[in-house]
Homo-oligomer: A and B are copies of this chain.
């Protein structure tokens, strides 16, 4: 049995101008179409709504709705890896953007699997297991990951520190020892603040874990342990919205691994914290 998309593809030559335009759009973005209305699809493919209906009939579907359902079924089974698309188009509505972002973020997380080195990950987990203090540092977009990590590891009972303030960090690092871990977060691996603090921490004897894009950046080279995130595409104008997702996925992994390790010991404390929270009704 032929898939609906390939059926459209093979019917393309027989279709009229307007219908072919529709078909081409559908082939391009089959995953997006089931969520659309005739109006949207007509705008996207540059034809009238009436033509959409005619198109559906042409390829043997009773109605636009039936067609959408059939297409969704098709796409679900196909499990196609959709390739790229440009994030910004002038006519995009917020809802369009929303779906694009879902797609982009999903793919970003998916590609995490490619860039991660399993040995480095194991080393990172070992280092964390033995760590006394954990220091996270990232600036700009990477501060999100630092804040998140700090919160999570505090929940696990770690002495876990982060700050956005370079000078605060500067005053903190002299107190680090070989038992401590400094997690440097920088997508590019070139951020000067992050590099300087990493070097300083390393000089103090702390283990430096770099959470950075997979490339041979200074941070990558200088770190003791490298947790690499994929080189997700980024729009030069807006920066990457997705690199943060990849960083957080790695943080989640570290968190879950540590939870796994010390897990049962802290469960009771989680309960206590939650119960206390409830009694304070917060």
Contact = CB atoms under 8 A, between A and B. Distances in A.
Nearest to A149: B144
Contact of A95 (B77, B110, B121, B249): B121
Contact of A118 (B95, B113, B121): B95
Contacts of A68: 69
Contacts of A76: 72-73, 76-77
A272 B237 CA distance: 11
Contact of A92 (B112, B192, B260): B260
A80 interface: yes
A188 to B, nearest CB: 11
Interface string A229-261: 000000001110100110011101101110110
A148 B263 CA distance: 28
A170 interface: no
A140 interface: yes
16 contacts: A73-B76, A88-B263, A92-B260, A94-B118, A95-B122, A97-B256, A101-B253, A105-B248, A105-B252, A109-B109, A143-B151, A144-B147, A192-B281, A238-B256, A241-B252, A248-B248
Nearest to A257: B94
Given A35-B113, A140-B151, 14 more contacts: A35-B69, A69-B72, A76-B77, A77-B80, A95-B121, A97-B256, A99-B113, A147-B147, A148-B244, A191-B282, A192-B280, A192-B281, A241-B255, A245-B245
A102 B106 contact: no
B253 A94 contact: yes
